[in-house]
Amino acid sequence: MPADDVAHPDTRRDRIAWIAACLILLLALLLRLLYLAAEPLDLDEFWNLQLTSGRGTVHESVSVNQIHRPASATGLADALPWWRIPGSLDRVTHPPLFSIALRWWRGAIGEGDASARLLGAILSAITVIPLFAAGRNLHGRCVGLWAAALFAVAGAQIDGAQQIRPYPLLILLGASGVWLLSDIERLGWRWWKGALAAGICLAAVLTHYFAAPLLTALAIEATLRLKRDRLKLAGAGLAAAVIFCVAWGPMLLRQRAVSREAAFWVANRDAQPVTATLLDALMAPARLFFEPPESARPMAAALVIALAIIVIMAARRRWAEFRLWLLLLAGTIGFTLVLDLANNTSMLRLIRYSLPAGPAVYMIVALLGARRGKLTAFALPAGLTIACLVALPGAYNRPNVDFRPMAAYLDRVAGDRNGIVVFHRLPNWTWHAGFQWVTWSHYSRHGPDESPRVLFLDEPPPALVMEPLRHAGRFVLVGRAEDRRWLDSIPGARVTSRQEFPGAGVVVEMSFDGGGNP
């Protein structure tokens, strides 16, 4: 740690550095607000909005073979109280803190898509401050500023910040934990720092379970770095662990069965899964800056290997400086790599699982230039910052399926509150039928008492729902384009119109009056 850089925290240079950090924060916020609502919500974003209602995974718990008018899956007008959220998470693999924070945020700011995404954008931008402060305390102002700048412009961080997911909160807590460790080493222990350490640990594991290996890496570094205060810090961590186990342990055990089912969605289907997983781990640090084109991946892999060799050579001489960040890499990308190899999954292929490793990667890159000559100092982080800025358009391009056109069409053809919309649940569409309804209820312009009635239909349709359908004369049926069996699932009904929405579903109007085309 350069003594001249941190020994006098109130110097003019230090004030200038803090002003620069605030400017980087503003840049980070601007880049995260840009095109914030341009792309449609994806599956997990709808899911996280559902969880704020206090009803849990609504699309998997719909009432079947019953014509009714269910409450909006994502709306808060008729949502359960926020304290019901923790008890409703038995069908997901996440702890409750992010869902509760998002519920409070939506209640205060608004229920729109941009409002919900704004929370992650702000949390991600704020991370610039503890990241700079940690780098300043440990390595000097310039290293902290370059690491913060890389975090601000990295395409992966911008992409993750613009989605309704818990990762921005987890990254902020992780960076705050590193800053607190550096502050305790530099200025000593205070009781409030112990309380803050326990709060950060508890909040992190209540945000995402992958916080546990990250906190383990921090605990190892604290044991090696701190001399007098390591036991006090260990006590704060132990207190957080006890509170977590008592408060959340029973639900964690209930979620274990769901975690085994969730592994299906990230199963590694590559012909050579081990090789593919190792390549994913190799590419993860490069993808934390920007997503390389498919044609450039071999070059990106070669650059990562070259950078890894440089890091190893530098760490041999400056191990104390690199140790913390390498431990954090082991607790993020390394931990996910072990899980992928052990469970034959491909989580590393999804960049969101690597996002918490970003601060460590950016700090390592900044450190590599810290001891160079004046002309070459920080050339590597400067070059990567420019590259990230050039590649920014790719950060805003998320080709999600847009459910808004289908929702608007359903509003138009379903009619008023007397209309009936049938979502067909063929055996392999059980999940999709509920999700189609969630997207419609999210975007529908019908009020709670004005919305059409809904029927989630299993095959064959029971007699108790056939009579209301015949009495209505016409109804709307929603299915998927992959299979036409559902079009013949209601005896006597004929198709009068059909509209397909790629990736979202097919909407047909049906009638019992004998007219229309089969």
For residue 244, name the pLDDT band (cuts at 50, 70, 90). Answer: very high
Quick one: how far is CA 490 from the chain centroid? 40
* Position 483 pLDDT exceeds 70: no
What's phi and psi for 495, nearest 5 deg?
-80, 130
Which DSSP symbol is given to 163? S
Residue 484 DSSP SS3: coil
pLDDT in tens, 29-63: 999 999 999 899 999 999 999 999 999 998 888 88
Per the structure block, which two tokens stand in for 86?
């923790």
DSSP line for 164-208? SSSHHHHHHHHHHHHHHHHHHHHH---HHHHHHHHHHHHHHHTT-
Residue 215: pLDDT band (50, 70, 90) is very high
Region 128-138 average pLDDT:
97
- Residue range 146-185, pLDDT digits in tens: 999 999 999 999 999 999 999 999 999 999 999 999 999 9
Confidence band for 430, pLDDT divided at 50, 70 and 90: low
pLDDT beyond 70 at 252: yes
Residue with tokens 């009056």: 513
Q: How confident is the model at residue 516 (pLDDT cuts 50, 70, 90)?
A: very low
Mean pLDDT score, 334-338 = 96
| More confident: 209 or 430 | 209
Share of the chain above pLDDT 70, in %: 94
Output phi, psi for 392, to 5 deg.
-55, -40
Strand 420-424 and strand 474-479: the pairing is parallel
pLDDT at 374: 65
State how far the Cα of 75 lies from the Cα of 266, in Å rounded to an integer: 29
pLDDT of residue 304: 82
Contact call for residues 310 and 368 (beta carbons, < 8 A): yes
Nearest CA among 476, 478, 491, 486 for reference residue 434: 478
Q: What span, in angstroms and rounded, lies between the C-alpha atoms of 383 and 17?
A: 20
Nearest to 226 by CA among 191, 182, 263, 178: 182
Q: Say which range, 119-123, 406-410, 482-486, has the weakest mean pLDDT.
A: 482-486
Q: How many CB atoms lie within 10 A of CB 503?
A: 13
pLDDT at 3: 43
The helix/strand/coil state of 220 is helix
- pLDDT tops 50 at residue 200: yes
Residue 373 has pLDDT above 80, yes or no: no
Q: Would you say residue 489 has pLDDT above 80?
A: no
- Count each helix (H run) and each strand (E run) in the chain, helices first: 23, 5
Residue-averaged pLDDT of the chain: 89
pLDDT tens for residues 263-275? 778 889 899 999 9
Q: To which H or E segment does residue 499 belong?
A: strand 494-501
